[in-house]
Structure 1
Amino acid sequence: MTSAGPAHAQSAAAEGQQLAFDIGKGNCLSCHVIKGGDLPGTIGPELKDIKSKFPDRNELVAILNDETKRNPRTVMPPFGRNRILTEPEINAIVDFLQTL
């Protein structure tokens, strides 16, 4: 297996941003303030300094997949469990979040 280069990481992050801002997919802006996003919501925390807050990307993947496993009272939608996002889409969004 070859390691992904910087160009791949940039394209994955760009795809992740597109998915995160897409109202039919991630729709992260409905609840979160994200740099570069328009009309953000305030239900969830502002998404910044993500890589320092979540150095293990698997934790972010788990949150996007089904945060109810960690916090049963969360309002965060279980994007993976409900098949709103595929595993590759979740990984792309995590790539994007880690650039914030």
Structure 2
Amino acid sequence: MITTAGAAALLAAGMSFSGAAMAQGDEGLSDSAKAGKEIAFGRGAGNCLACHQMEDGNLAGNIGPALIAMKARYPDREDLVAVLKDPRDKFGDQTIMPPFGANGILSDEEISNIVDYLYTL
């Protein structure tokens, strides 16, 4: 839980207190990529950092692969969208990655925003 003083300190440091740290170098990101980063870094529905290493991520997980060179790894955007919606289609039923879209954890717009952010990595 963030106190008022804690929230003020985060804002003064240029960070969001919605559960996601936004680095000061994010000015170049589109609005959708910024929204995607907030979801990916947040401890709520996205929480990509729980399992993946990402640029600017603190205390990143090591369960899943590092999220780097995503545009090169998934040149067809819809392939990456499909993995976020239901990774079981690509990785099988034994994957531990949640089916964010299939289970209604994230909306199509939120998944699109995350992909916009991942494509900046």
Q: TM-score, normalised by structure 2?
A: 0.74
Q: How many residues align?
A: 92
Structure 2: gaps (5+ residues): 1-28
Distance 1:26 1:60 in 2: 15
Structure with the bigger RCO (C-alpha within 8 Å, sep 6+) is 1
Output one character per residue of 1:23-79: Cα deviation in whole Å (capped at 9) or x when no partner: 111100000000011100000000001001111110110000001112222111100
Give 4+ residue runs of structure 1 displaced > 3 Å after superposition: none
The one of 95, 116, 120 equivalent to 1:74 is 95
Alignment of 1:2-81 (within 5 A): 10-72=30-92, 73-81=94-102
* In structure 2, C-alpha distance between the alignment counterparts of 1:96 and 1:78, rounded to whole Å: 19
What percentage of aligned pairs have identical amino acids? 48
Cα distance in 2 for residues equivalent to 1:85 and 1:67:
13
Q: TM-score, normalised by structure 1?
A: 0.88
RMSD: 1.0
Distance 1:70 1:53 in 2: 14
Unaligned runs of 5+ in 1: 1-8
